[in-house]
Chains A and B, each alone.
Chain A
Amino acid sequence: MNDLPVGSTARIVNYTQQDSFTERLREFGLIPGTVIRMLRKAPFNGPVEIQYRNSRIVLRPGEVAHLQLERIA
């Protein structure tokens, strides 16, 4: 997630671990196959905002290590 530049899109491939956080991400609709777009990053490695379909959420990239992404563009 950290490596995605602002404006780029990626597809969620898989979750490498199952816990209540990854379950919450899936409940938010971030299910494998979902295409996400990196909207913006806060400075100093702060939180990032991503968009997918009709939703926009903010999370700390360091906390979503279990998310496998595949860069599209």
Chain B
Amino acid sequence: MLILYMPSPAQSTPDPSPNLTVALVGAPNCGKSTIFNALTGLRQKVGNFPGVTVEPKSGDAHIDKTITRLIDLPGLYSFTPKTPDEALSVAVLSGDHERLPRPDAVVFVMEGTNLEKSLFLYAQFAALNLPTVVVVTMIDSIKASGGVFDDIAMEQALNVPVIGIVGHRGIGLEELREHLALRGFTRPEASQNHVPHDAAIENQHEWARNLASDVARVPETDSLTLNLDALFLHPVLGPLIFLAVMLLFFQSVFTWATPVMDSIDAGFAWLQSIVDTALPAGIVQDFLSRGVIAGVGAVIVFLPQILILTLFITLLEDFGYLARGAFLVDRMMGVFGLQGRSFIPLLSSFACAIPGMMSARIISSEKDRLTTILIAPLMTCSARLPVYVLLITAFVPATLLGGVLSLQGLVLMGLYALGAISGLVVGKVFKSTIFQGSKLPFLMELPPYRFPTWRSVFLTLFHRTKQFLTSAGTTILVLSVIIWALGAFPRTTAQAGASATEAAAVQLEHSVLGTLGKAIEPMFAPIGFDWKITIGVLGSFAAREVFVSVMGQVYSVDVSESDETLRTVLKSAISLPTALSILVFYVYALQCMSTLAVMKRETGSWKYPALAFAYTLVLAYSSSLLVFHLARVW
């Protein structure tokens, strides 16, 4: 946890342990997260994902000399849970959660523009009789659209403190902070008017509706939302705008991230060169340069893409557009047994499966989220591109079909399409087998459009970065050091007079990795791989693009991706059927330890990465076998 709070020496140091745990409770889209971010800022604990495996977000609010531990519970629609998120919130609030303690008090967040929904939830919540303060958000939207809100009437009706808040302007936050510091909570049981916590759903709604109309006059739908939806959900313009947004999204990930990624690459190459010149050639230099620096570099290089994707998704989500996008593509995704919200994670996975899987958190159905995560690695990520480019330029003639269409481009497009279509089909298979049926059919609110608060967006980016660098970074670093060690031991000394590249080739051939490659070569022989390609495939587990440099090493040519030499060497060393077999193998195989590590983190179990690894390997191997033999016959 990052602590920016530094008490001055003259003051007495506050008790470092939080002395009160307060849960934030409310319906989805009620503005809970904005309040959580405003109260805790940078003092948030990272390590919170939706779903079964998870802990809710928590953070500390330092007010005067008190510390309050705030828990941001997932939004819920009722206390009869229908999703894992809801079950978690209900379990924590009733004190039934295995690890998380029951909170001492609750800040109950209500959406000002839809009080009936919030009061309905409150009616059920009141049964728990936890000390409560009620916060009503977006009171500015009520007033701006000509409505009124009477917090005093509501306070009298509920007999708990009620605070009106405008999250992004900070109005009401000071009052809420005071309540937290002074522990100004009241138990709902003291309510003078009966809160129907044991009544039927219909009666609870009736109570909520009556109370809502007593304390607030809210216009039915704000005109901004109506007008924007007329455009964004227009039968013709809607999909066109969506397509344009997605193009911008795709473009930003590739184009805007590339210069930054290149400079990160260059930065790490520079670091490597410093180590290489400063230290004598040998195991220490090799470890630092190719084990540690290259390993860390391979992680950090994803950060620009992750930041851009997160920024884009956070803005679209906070604005309310993601739900509209889900509405537009739901029909198409339905063909494959998935829902509209799976679209964004899958699209992101074309850049990199890691941010893709992370953005799958926007899917509320756990089965759909897991299916999406499992098929995300089949979307062609940018790490496959160097491999594709190398082999396509070596083997596919640069002819133009009909004088316009580049054959090489067509093959590249075909590989992307093959991955995407296979992914959707596999999704369909998962949805009709292990993730069969959903507890809850597709049901989604279209929240009113809102302008994102920069503070919230910044905090999301900050915490996502921290989470990625710490959690994924450590795992990936360890794994890449392991791969390095497998290639670096046992040490072999090349003949005198051999060039550095030749020495590297000899070292690799006699290393554990090389021995392993030769040992399992018979397994890969049916799909046309010799031991050299097998080493490349094994080395790819650190990162797919490593294939290119491993090929360079085993064929003893100093290469870059654009280098003519390696292509010429490969063209004579590898047959066309083998080349096609490698391409198809890379379309399917999940050779990426970072993906497996993040998949484990996002699903909370090694079961899912194991499944993904196994099914992609089976797909890769059988497709390569098919392609290799078809190509040989043909």
Q: Which residue of A lies closest to B439 (CB)?
A: A20
Given contacts A20-B82, A49-B327, contact A27 B77 (CB under 8 A): yes
Contact between chains at A60 and B334 (CB < 8 Å): yes
Given contacts A27-B201, A57-B445, contact A43 B233 (CB under 8 A): no
Contact between chains at B80 and A23 (CB < 8 Å): yes
Proximity string of chain B (193-230) to chain A, C-beta cutoff 8 Å, 1 when within and 0 when not:
00000000110010001000000001011000000000
Min CB distance B99 to A, Å, is 26
B282 close to chain A: CB less than 8 A: no
CB neighbours (8 Å) of B113 from chain A are 54
A12 to B220, CA, bound (A): 19
CB neighbours (8 Å) of B209 from chain A are 53
- Interface hits, A45-71 → B, CB 8 Å: 45-47, 49, 51, 53-60, 63-64
Contact between chains at B205 and A58 (CB < 8 Å): no
CB neighbours (8 Å) of A21 from chain B are 440-441, 443
Measured as residues with beta carbon below 8 angstroms from the partner, the interface class of chain B is 20 to 34
Contact between chains at A54 and B218 (CB < 8 Å): yes
Contact between chains at B117 and A55 (CB < 8 Å): yes
CB neighbours (8 Å) of B326 from chain A are 58
Contact between chains at A42 and B445 (CB < 8 Å): no
A29 close to chain B: CB less than 8 A: yes
Given contacts A20-B440, A56-B445, A60-B442, contact A46 B330 (CB under 8 A): yes
Contact between chains at B327 and A47 (CB < 8 Å): yes
Proximity string of chain B (460-492) to chain A, C-beta cutoff 8 Å, 1 when within and 0 when not:
000000000000000000000000000000000
Q: Which residue of A lies closest to B234 (CB)?
A: A40
Contact between chains at B442 and A56 (CB < 8 Å): no
Proximity string of chain B (323-351) to chain A, C-beta cutoff 8 Å, 1 when within and 0 when not:
10011101100100000100000000000
B578 close to chain A: CB less than 8 A: no
Q: Which residue of A lies closest to B206 (CB)?
A: A31
Contact between chains at A42 and B330 (CB < 8 Å): yes
CB neighbours (8 Å) of A53 from chain B are 116, 209, 220
CB neighbours (8 Å) of A64 from chain B are 441
Contact between chains at A54 and B331 (CB < 8 Å): no
Contact between chains at B442 and A47 (CB < 8 Å): yes
A46 to B330, CA, bound (A): 7
A27 to B82, CA, bound (A): 11
CB neighbours (8 Å) of B120 from chain A are 27, 29
Min CB distance B86 to A, Å, is 10
Given contacts A27-B80, A54-B116, A56-B221, contact A40 B441 (CB under 8 A): no
Contact between chains at B446 and A60 (CB < 8 Å): no
Given contacts A29-B117, A31-B202, A32-B202, contact A40 B233 (CB under 8 A): yes
Q: Which residue of B lies closest to A31 (CB)?
A: B202
Contact between chains at A43 and B202 (CB < 8 Å): no
Contact between chains at A29 and B442 (CB < 8 Å): no
Q: Which residue of A lies closest to B340 (CB)?
A: A47
CB neighbours (8 Å) of A26 from chain B are 201-202, 205
B556 close to chain A: CB less than 8 A: no
Given contacts A47-B331, A49-B233, contact A57 B444 (CB under 8 A): yes
Contact between chains at B327 and A42 (CB < 8 Å): yes
B78 close to chain A: CB less than 8 A: yes
Min CB distance A27 to B, Å, is 4
Contact between chains at A51 and B202 (CB < 8 Å): no
CB neighbours (8 Å) of B116 from chain A are 29, 53-54
Contact between chains at A59 and B221 (CB < 8 Å): no
Min CB distance B222 to A, Å, is 10
Min CB distance A18 to B, Å, is 11
Q: Which residue of A lies closest to B323 (CB)?
A: A58
Contact between chains at A59 and B201 (CB < 8 Å): no
A57 to B77, CA, bound (A): 13
Min CB distance B325 to A, Å, is 12
CB neighbours (8 Å) of B94 from chain A are none
CB neighbours (8 Å) of B331 from chain A are 42-47
Contact between chains at B445 and A55 (CB < 8 Å): yes
Min CB distance B449 to A, Å, is 12
Min CB distance B26 to A, Å, is 15
Contact between chains at A63 and B205 (CB < 8 Å): no
Residue from B80, B116, B201, B218 whose CB has the most chain A CB atoms within 10 Å: B201
| Chain A residues near B (Cβ < 8 Å) | 20-21, 23-29, 31-32, 40, 42-47, 49, 51, 53-60, 63-64
Q: 5 A-B Cβ contacts within 8 A? A: A20-B439, A26-B205, A47-B327, A58-B444, A60-B441
| Chain B residues near A (Cβ < 8 Å) | 77-78, 80, 82, 113-114, 116-117, 120, 201-202, 205, 209, 218, 220-221, 233, 235, 323, 326-328, 330-331, 334, 340, 439-446
Q: A21-B440, A24-B78 are in contact. List 7 more A-B contacts (CB 8 A).
A: A23-B201, A26-B205, A29-B116, A40-B233, A42-B330, A51-B221, A58-B326
